[in-house]
Structure 1
Amino acid sequence: MRLFIAFLITSLSLSAFQAPVFAQGTNNRDLSLIIRNDQRLDSIQARALRLLTGFNAGTSYGEVWIRDLNTFIKGSLKVHAPDKVRSMLLLFFKMQGNGGDIVDGFIDIKKAAVGYEFRYFPQAPDWVAHKNTVETDQESSLIQAVRKYVDVTGDTSILQEKIGEKTVIRRMEDALAYILNERWTEKYGLVKGATTIDWGDVQPETGWGVVINSKTKWACDIYDNAMYAIAINDFLAIKPAAYHATQDWTVVARRIRENVRKHLWLAADKKYIPHLYLDGSPFPASFKEKEILYTGGSACAILAGFHKPEEIAVINKQMVNAAAKEKFATIGITVYPPYPAAEFPNMHPYVYQNAGDWTWFGGRMIQALIANGFIKEAWDELQPIIGRTIAKNGFYEWYDVRTGEPKGSGDFRGEAGVLFDTITMLREWAEKNK
């Protein structure tokens, strides 16, 4: 496999850098041919697989993060033996908290630097872990990653692997139960977390913004709830028939879907509110937060099956329109418009998760479009993403929408994994529609 990857990388023809071909007015058969013959896709997948020989998030991150691994695990399974990937997943369960919670990431104990409040686990003595407590997606991400692993490998034995006195499938259910026990608001029947930007993990106020503190304002948002709904469905999809769950998770998933529509979705505007606050907002009453478009959480909501085609079309159009307002933006722009510095001093406008452009999530929106039959839109909206990936000769954490320059971590495996999976989905469609 590695020789094949090297061959692709070193033998790219000029056609690999061809001008983008858009799908407007193109029928399915012709679009299928375009996709199957586009050598730029070969180039990107080859580069992705070369990068996915590692597990840490990128050059700026020494840790293996579960929210990242969840999005590049399928690519990892192309270049690693299943046992290696399996061992990474099992490490997260070895570091599971007594209440069922899952850590964000872990790092070799010899490489751990000052900053995080590390957790230590006797079952993984060579590693230390940490958890960004403001976020509520770690448990959901791990369950989703296990589902992907099982789907790709067919290895259901991982579910019966014992860690301590508990099987992995039981630990998966414990992770789901942790959300109900510790991150649930009964008033609204929804998952809660700290106030962050869309799928982000930083609070507004200055300081160490990734942990719960005295300034934390609890809220419900679409990202956490969509990720949890996907995780429940993944748990149910791979749960052994002989395993008796502690509760009816189908009912929980249905309740979330209903309450998302009731409390987070603005039917008239066809968009999600950024936050449903539980104990007051961190922003002044004059700030019109509801006007901000949350793209990442919206993409996850579509992947969770929360929307009909006509709503997906409107959501997608909103993202395209938002991107059109900035010279170098794609549908990966995190939010739009960005939060002003006065309201979000911990992250200024157009920086990182505050309207930075992330292929990591833009690619997931394209996956959502493909999964729901919006192939022409998916292809057209992928073009600027493909173009900049090739032009910048790498996978980067995020892009500045004002300059087009890459920012953050280089060799960002989340972007590589999402693009690898997106191209795979497109090619599977193309093969079926020759």
Structure 2
Amino acid sequence: MKHIIPIIALSTTLLACGPKNTSNEKEEKSAGIYQQDSTLRFVKSQALEVVKTGFNAGDGYGEVWIRDYNTFITLSAEAHKPEVLKENLRVFFRLQGSDGNIVDGFIPAQKAKESKVGYDYIFNELEPNYAGHKNTVETDQESSLVQAVARYITLSGDTAFLSEKVGTKTIAQRLDWSMEFLMNERYDKKHGLIWGATTADWGDVQPEHDWGVYLTKDTHLAIDIYDNAMFLIALDRLMELIPAKKAKWQPIREAIASNTMKHLWDEKNQKFIPHVYLNGSPFPASLNENEIYYHGGTAVAIEANLLSKEQIKVSLDKMIDNVKRSGAGTIGLTLYPTYPEGSFKNKGMYPYGYQNGGDWTWFGGRMIKQLYLNGFKKEAYEQLKPMLKRVIDNKGFYEWYTVDNKPKGSGTFRGEAGVLYDAIVLFEKDDLKQE
């Protein structure tokens, strides 16, 4: 888990003022409907300013995190040369574990030695300059790296990167190895799905510990939609990058998809259940956990092509209803209803705090993109607007927002900037198609 810390002062490059409409009336009438919306252009321009300043998750973090970098590498390509993007990816491969696992993030080695954060830092002779750390309650680092590499190659056309060697293995071999790690170390044969610790939706905090970032003897292992959907997307990207691996991974991909819907999809309630537990639940029997709706995991499941168009519409309707019931600002609401007070030992996981019902554009923006791609353009645009508005109102990109729409966590949060940029570009392209 990224430390829950006070809000850090915003970068001086950010949002000194709101959007200004400089187009004359004739130009606006001839422009596409989305080009007339100055907030799209303004937030896009500010996202570009944010990403120029670095690759760490936000100004509250020293590390470059793969789950974050995966969501803003496309935006980064607008401000940085391909070699810079590629070097960040190389660091993750140099720090890859002897079993194929991928670290969460990396930080300069000297800073790691001086750090008092509490991570067990990982060092590797292949990478003298950086140290890594791995949150072991997560099961998305490997999937995130495969997706990030795919995005880099799509942007750059640099397929030669796959043949580049890190140590004795090529990048292609290391990508394949990272997927094998999940099958070897995080695969439950009974359900045919991968597992992690119990967390709130896509979160990285388990309930059984004051911090909650490491598997312990008290951990309750569980299967959830987010981990498995991320794995499916990664397998799709891996087979696109390395067609020769399709015979190996396609049957696994099909089995994971089938088992996900078999074990996690609640047909009656048209939603994903929060968890399938492998050694019991950490929550009291009085909690009906299946009443909780996971917004983030559902958005990623749509990206993994698990839901039909009809199911996507039902999912959106449920999200909108949850926003109304909770009073939250956007469908970036992590989950609803929240886990009760005291469900997590980590004090930051109070109801509507952090990942327990905090409102994260980092995932809400992904839902916007999937709505657009699945034919719900009008709905996507309507749900995007309040996300753009609060960037302008708060003069920055923040990590998450409270139920009453107040900014929290790290400022200059690049994951938020990245997913908003991706969504805005879709709408811009839509206007161009219609001209």
Same-fold status (TM-score > 0.5)? yes
Provide Cα deviations, 1:301-352, integer angstroms capped at 9, x if missing partner.
0000001100000001101110112334210000101101232232111110
Structure 1: which amino acid aligns with 2:376? Answer: F
Match for 2:167 among 156, 164, 169?
164
Aligned to 1:379: 381
Quick check: 1:8–1:46 contact (8 Å CA) kept in 2?
Answer: no
Distance 2:19 2:245 in 1: 54
The alpha-carbon deviation at position 12 of structure 1 amounts to: 6.9
Distance 2:39 2:72 in 1: 20
The alpha-carbon deviation at position 15 of structure 1 amounts to: 3.0
Provide Cα deviations, 1:151-193, integer angstroms capped at 9, x if missing partner.
1110101100001111000100000000000000010010100
Distance 1:31 1:328 in 2: 36
Quick check: 2:210–2:345 contact (8 Å CA) kept in 1?
Answer: no
Aligned to 1:15: 21
Q: 1:217 to 1:79 in 2, by over 3 A?
A: same
The alpha-carbon deviation at position 143 of structure 1 amounts to: 0.2
Q: 1:328 to 1:342 in 2, by over 3 A?
A: closer
Quick check: 1:100–1:174 contact (8 Å CA) kept in 2?
Answer: yes
Distance 1:251 1:13 in 2: 50
Q: 1:226 to 1:70 in 2, by over 3 A?
A: same
Aligned to 2:222: 219
The alpha-carbon deviation at position 368 of structure 1 amounts to: 0.7
The percent identity for this pair of structures is 48
Aligned to 2:415: 414
Distance 2:268 2:72 in 1: 36
Structure 2: which amino acid aligns with 1:427? Answer: E
Distance 1:13 1:426 in 2: 18
Distance 2:330 2:292 in 1: 16
Q: 1:257 to 1:13 in 2, by over 3 A?
A: closer
User: Paired residues, what number?
Assistant: 412
Are 1:205 and 2:208 counterparts?
Answer: yes
Distance 1:32 1:271 in 2: 39
Aligned to 1:25: none
Quick check: 1:31–1:430 contact (8 Å CA) kept in 2?
Answer: no
Are 1:255 and 2:255 counterparts?
Answer: yes
Are 1:189 and 2:195 counterparts?
Answer: no
Provide Cα deviations, 1:376-412, integer angstroms capped at 9, x if missing partner.
100000111111111111000000013x210000110
The alpha-carbon deviation at position 295 of structure 1 amounts to: 0.5
Correspondences of 1:334-373 after superposition (within 5 Å) = 334-346=334-346, 347-373=349-375
Q: Which stretch has the larger CA shift, 206-215 or 151-160?
A: 206-215
Distance 2:183 2:304 in 1: 18
Distance 1:202 1:31 in 2: 50
Match for 1:143 among 143, 146, 149?
146
Distance 1:132 1:174 in 2: 19
Distance 1:31 1:205 in 2: 58
Quick check: 1:335–1:354 contact (8 Å CA) kept in 2?
Answer: yes
Aligned to 1:180: 183
Structure 2: which amino acid aligns with 1:409? Answer: S
Aligned to 1:102: 102
- TM-score for both structures, normalised by structure 2: 0.91
Quick check: 1:363–1:422 contact (8 Å CA) kept in 2?
Answer: yes
The alpha-carbon deviation at position 219 of structure 1 amounts to: 0.6
Aligned to 2:402: 400
Quick check: 1:265–1:271 contact (8 Å CA) kept in 2?
Answer: yes
Correspondences of 1:227-242 after superposition (within 5 Å) = 227-239=230-242, 241=243
Contiguous gaps of at least 5 residues in structure 1 = 1-5, 17-29
Say which SS state the counterpart of residue 274 (structure 1) adopts. Answer: coil
- TM-score for both structures, normalised by structure 1: 0.92
Say which SS state the counterpart of residue 14 (structure 1) adopts. Answer: coil
Quick check: 1:330–1:384 contact (8 Å CA) kept in 2?
Answer: yes
